[in-house]
Amino acid sequence: MSVFQALYLVAAALFILALKWMSAPATARRGVISGEVGMLLAVVGTLLRHEVVNYEWIIVALLLGAAIGVPLAVLMPMTAVPQRTAISQACGALASALIGTAEYYHRHPSGFIMVALAVEILLGFLTFTASLMAFGKLHEILPSRPITYKGQNYVNLILFVVAIGIAGALVVRPEQAGLFPAFVLLALTFGVLLIIPIGGADMPTVIALLNSYAGLSASAMGFALDNKLLIIAGALDGSSGLILSIIMCRAMNRSFTNVLFGAFGQLQTSAAATEAKPVRSASPEEAAAILEDARTVVIIPGYGMAVAQAQHKIRELYDSLTKRGIDVRFAIHPVAGRMPGHMNVLLAEADVPYDKLIEMEDINSDMGMTDVALIVGANDIVNPAAQNDPTSPIAGMPILDAYKARTVMIIKRGMSAGFAGIDNELYYRPNTLMLFGDAKSFVTSLVKEVGATAHA
């Protein structure tokens, strides 16, 4: 076995271990390091294959990549992790597509290799533009609501079929270079049109699905370049992204077709929604008093916590309450935030103990025995309409049963709808108190009030 083959073997093992370790918060850091070391060994092994014709360009690329990647990692706030993930996927997919393009013009391969190249280029370019569109929606450069028009799904289907037809023509006659730019343009356009009808509520699933596409593109590139490690790494990425997408869909009681073509997230209006309903609110002093009298508190974070960057203040509130002997836990919904694990990442950054982060299916049975459910910027994932209203767009979606707690307190700027675009009936329940204000500012006030009474 040659040196580069040994490095590839170790790298493949590290990639597999990275996925295993990243499946649990306690070992996630080890998983990240394992993946990084595996990628370093993979790069070194590739260089040792002596297939590189110009090391000067390799050095330039490494320096350029480091100049972009290091600031992204250091300066990007944790609240913007979903956007950074979308950009990373876009860059990886573009790299794969450009390599496939270079291979096509360099070799004009035929047979199976051309099939692999066609898959690589199609998935690479459509994932590139789709990820950019996802970034735009996540960063609110583009409207997070679905952008739709009549016959949209048919237009997308026609474009996709034409792209597949051109790919087939190139497989049969690779020398038809004039068709190639049209193939690339169709792939780029399809990526844009695939994402614009998808609303912000579905971004967690979209991010996972695009990750799967990028991985499959890399795996196809491995077949085209006869690189077994690329095949393995791409297959791991593609399959894990697909599995995660399935988990996200189940967490929302949605199908893939509904996510991709359902235009979910448009504002729902009805006579009932516009009726004036009684709302009870509380001040920071009143909310702090309720928390102090509680024995059990469940904090439910949502995207509002991320926007306000309130995770560190939430940790301070957790510390203040636990010092008073109050049992405080965090309820994590699978699709809370804008990407899978978004809340876990933010709370881990604030050093919230891992064992206090409880998954939805494990904590729902305790909600009826909880004194206070404190919701910080979450909306659709606690909306009882998912269980009570069969006509609701989120009907059947598994939710955190916050409404079962003795007292529900919701920190929110106003009464606006969530990403699903529907009113939340939890706001109007007799055991609910609205805590109006910016999440970070309101939690800061809660910490001061709880601390003041503790020292009194």
Residues 6+ apart with CB under 8 A from 27: 21
Pick 271-455's CATH classification: 3.90.226.10, 3.40.228.10, 3.40.50.300, 3.40.50.1220.
3.40.50.1220
Q: Report the 10 Å Cβ neighbour count for 168.
A: 12
432-436 vs 296-301, strand pairing mode: unpaired
Q: How confident is the model at residue 261 (pLDDT cuts 50, 70, 90)?
A: low
Question: What distance in Å separates the CA atoms of residue 304 and residue 410, rounded to the nearest whole number?
Answer: 11
Question: What distance in Å separates the CA atoms of residue 64 and residue 339, rounded to the nearest whole number?
Answer: 28
Mean of the pLDDT values across residues 398-405?
95
Q: How far is CA 198 from CA 220, 344, 365, 446, in A?
A: 27, 24, 33, 37
pLDDT at 254: 67
DSSP H or E segment with residue 434? strand 432-436
Mean of the pLDDT values across residues 401-411?
96
pLDDT at 256: 66
pLDDT at 73: 81
pLDDT at 259: 67
- Please, what is the average pLDDT of the chain? 88
Give the tens place of pLDDT for each residue, 99-149.
999 999 988 888 999 999 999 999 999 999 999 999 998 887 888 777 888
Give the tens place of pLDDT for each residue, 346-371.
998 899 998 999 999 999 999 999 99
Q: Is the pLDDT of residue 289 over 70?
A: yes
Question: What distance in Å separates the CA atoms of residue 114 and residue 376, rounded to the nearest whole number?
Answer: 51
* CB contact at 8 A, 146 and 196: yes
Range of weakest confidence among 20-29, 49-58, 445-454? 49-58
Q: Report the 10 Å Cβ neighbour count for 60.
A: 11
Q: How confident is the model at residue 345 (pLDDT cuts 50, 70, 90)?
A: confident
pLDDT at 397: 86
Give the tens place of pLDDT for each residue, 153-211.
889 889 999 999 999 999 999 988 899 999 999 999 999 998 888 876 677 788 888 99
Mean of the pLDDT values across residues 219-235?
92
> Of 48, 46, 39, 47, which is closest to residue 15 (Cα–Cα)?
39
Query: Which sequence positions are flagged as catalytic?
Result: 380
Range of weakest confidence among 77-91, 99-113, 256-270, 430-444? 256-270
pLDDT at 206: 84
Look at 241 and 50; give whichever has higher pLDDT: 241
Question: What distance in Å separates the CA atoms of residue 37 and residue 17, rounded to the nearest whole number?
Answer: 11
pLDDT at 274: 43
pLDDT at 140: 79
Q: Is the pLDDT of residue 98 over 50?
A: yes
Mean of the pLDDT values across residues 16-32?
87
- Tell me which DSSP letter residue 432 carries: E
Q: Is the pLDDT of residue 456 over 80?
A: no
DSSP conformation letters of 237-291: HHHHHHHHHHHHHHHHT--HHHHHHS-TTPPP--HHHHS-----B--HHHHHHHH
Q: Report the 10 Å Cβ neighbour count for 132.
A: 21
Q: Is the pLDDT of residue 277 over 80?
A: no
pLDDT at 276: 61
Beta bridge partners of 328: 297
Burial 14-38 (b: 16+ CB within 10 A, else e): bbbbbeebbeebebbeebeebbebb
Question: What distance in Å separates the CA atoms of residue 316 and residue 378, rounded to the nearest whole number?
Answer: 19
Q: Is the pLDDT of residue 452 over 80?
A: no
Phi, psi of 336 (to 5 degrees): -70, 130
Tokens 């040196």 correspond to 3
Mean of the pLDDT values across residues 31-36?
94
Q: Angle of helix 311-323 relative to helix 439-455, nearest 10 degrees?
A: 20
Q: Where are the domains of the chain?
A: 1-75, 78-261, 271-455
Q: Is the pLDDT of residue 251 over 60?
A: yes
* Chain center to CA of 80: 11
